[in-house]
Chain A
Amino acid sequence: MNNIFVYIELDEGVVAEVSLELLTKGRELADKLGVKLEAVVLGHNVAGINEELAKYGADTVWVADNEIFAPFRTLPHTSALCGLIKAEQPQIVLFGATPVGRDFAPRVSSALHSGLTADCTQLEIGPHKDAKTGKEYENLLYQIRPAFGGNIIATIVNPDCRPQMATVREGVMRKEMVAAPAAAEVKAIAWQEYISEADLAVTIIDRHIEERKINIKGASVIVAGGYGMGSKDGFKLCYDLAEVLGGEVGASRAAVDAGFTEHERQIGQTGVTVRPKLYIACGISGQIQHTAGMDESSMIISINSDPEAPINKIADYAITGKVEEIIPKMIKYYKQNSK
């Protein structure tokens, strides 16, 4: 009772990275609170999954194994998880801030009337004193997230309602296997008791899932373009440079919104978080919503016509000038010197 739940998301049967990241964080929080870490799996043909989850610190693995749980549908997942939460009374429930987590976690919070904080970048345990009532709380979950377009960082607490729920973006927390993993206890979720016929009302007609083509998270060099690339055509320079340097192309939200490149390449709070060896920001002004997704890069080079661009404050090298002039020179001199 009052343990920590981590919802395990499955992507075509494979455990999503973010779920392993959450187990790592959940392990840390559970140790601090002296409670168990429990993974919740809703899927189909998931036998054996407990072994992988135990490696990342799960003490218990709750399983509902049936075809109604895969592919993901909102209502069966909501009802099964709500039923389990009511039965087990966890104090904390964590979800990945993925399309799946962001789809059904709000419904779970609405059904249980408990708060949910979206897109947390940090989770901690600490005390809280209510400013109005003076009531003091021990061991609350601090749910820390950027807000207001990333211009402020807010710490949210959920003092009186349980469970405390949060979604966490992929890639912002580290995943780590535990040093001495023990076998996790596997328990069956009594989902048949929780799910009604009405939960199956929405049917999937077909789905077309493309292979993950773009892997900016794993790239050691990223050339990212912003609105300052000027046009879709101008943005191609980023591809040219990335190809020569053996890197991937990223983009700011402004460049994606302007249609210069696809959404999968968006870096920042509403995109991917990256930590490459080298990050080259081309025509990116450096709004906090972008830099939050790349400021842990080992080295940052900015190319911007504005010497006062905010990106220069976090850059190691700030090149002032036109991207269309500088990028071809970088290509030229890289080729010359790398031979």
Chain B
Amino acid sequence: MNKALKIVVLAKQVPDTRNVGKDAMTAEGTVNRAALPAIFNPEDLNALELALRLKEECEGSTLHILTMGPLRAADIIRDAMYRGADGGYLLSDRKFAGSDTLATSYALSSALRQIGADVIIAGRQAIDGDTAQVGPQVAEKLGLPQVTYAEQIEQVKESTLVVRRRLERGVERVECPIPAVITVNSSAPEVRPQNARLVMKYKYAMTKSEIAAAEDSLAAKMASERDYLNIVELTAADIVCDEQQLGLSGSPTKVKKIENVVFQAKEAKRLTASDEDINGLMVELIASHTLG
């Protein structure tokens, strides 16, 4: 039998940049976050699925989510609990604002040191930044080995994991000692759906801010009385760290300039689906040696 593991999944709530509508940019050219739905970062869901499978394989294991973000990011912790996570930690503080990837990984690794984990699993990258940096940076800060682009944890051994990685043109299997950081590719199995029983169990799971906001409601009373409904909220003061390394002051990279992307309009020649138009186009392409 495999030994019980303490598993932590790093996840992020992100604006859905894949379906950017016309109102996603303000007239001033800044991003209108309000117009974009906030979602569970897609590859973090793949990470959650691998973590759930690992938990099932190693009886007695626990699985918690760690996310850094605004208070509403508690939504993705609940979402993960509906799919099988045991609970989560929300790292939320104005002091984290303006963090680049390095300051983010500093905050996350400080929290992880306190939480403790045998296996840390994260999505490869978040769709709002596409940097893929935070996983490896956390691993470095914790002095742990990393396996990136994971798509399957194939085997759990006494003190190692065998992981299949997706490379650009193939696959590689590696054996990695634990504790370790694993980042997961979108080619990993899709996350399982929410489980109705778990939705019932955890729908009142709340952070202390949410409990305070819900005041004397029954839900808030339940959440505050039952430990398993407690989503742990952590501020900068709750994690042992050097505040200089957080937020803007902890971020070596600075944004110098932001430009809105505007299409350079040029007049396209308009054609219809008629035989005449398509025939004419093909004749033109052949005559200009664009084709053939």
Contact = CB atoms under 8 A, between A and B. Distances in A.
Contacts of B133: 102, 105-106, 109, 116, 118
A119 interface: yes
Interface in A96-115: 98-99, 102-107, 109-111, 113-115
Interface string A281-324: 00000011001000000110110000100101111111111100
A207 B171 contact: yes
B216 interface: no
Interface stretch (B18-26, B47-55, B65-73, B86-94): B18-26
Q: Interface residues of B toward A: which range?
A: 35 or more
Interface stretch (B77-85, B136-144, B194-202, B221-229): B136-144
Contact of A221 (B130, B175, B266, B291): B291
Nearest to B261: A288
Nearest to A307: B270
Contact of B268 (A109, A116, A117, A315): A315
Nearest to A144: B257
A contacts with B: majority SS: mixed
A36 interface: no
A326 interface: yes
Contacts of B278: 319, 326, 329-330, 333
B254 A107 contact: no
A268 to B, nearest CB: 11
B269 A202 contact: no
Interface stretch (A38-46, A55-63, A153-161, A179-187): A153-161
Given A146-B261, A329-B275, A117 B253 contact: yes
Interface of B: 15, 17-18, 20, 24-25, 29, 31, 100-102, 105, 127-141, 145-149, 162, 167-177, 187, 251-261, 263-266, 268-273, 275, 277-279, 281-283, 285-286, 290-292
Interface of A: 71, 74-75, 78, 98-99, 102-107, 109-111, 113-119, 128, 130, 142-143, 146-161, 201-212, 221, 245, 253-254, 257, 263-264, 269-270, 277-278, 287-288, 291, 298-299, 301-302, 307, 310, 312-322, 325-326, 329-330, 333-334, 336-338
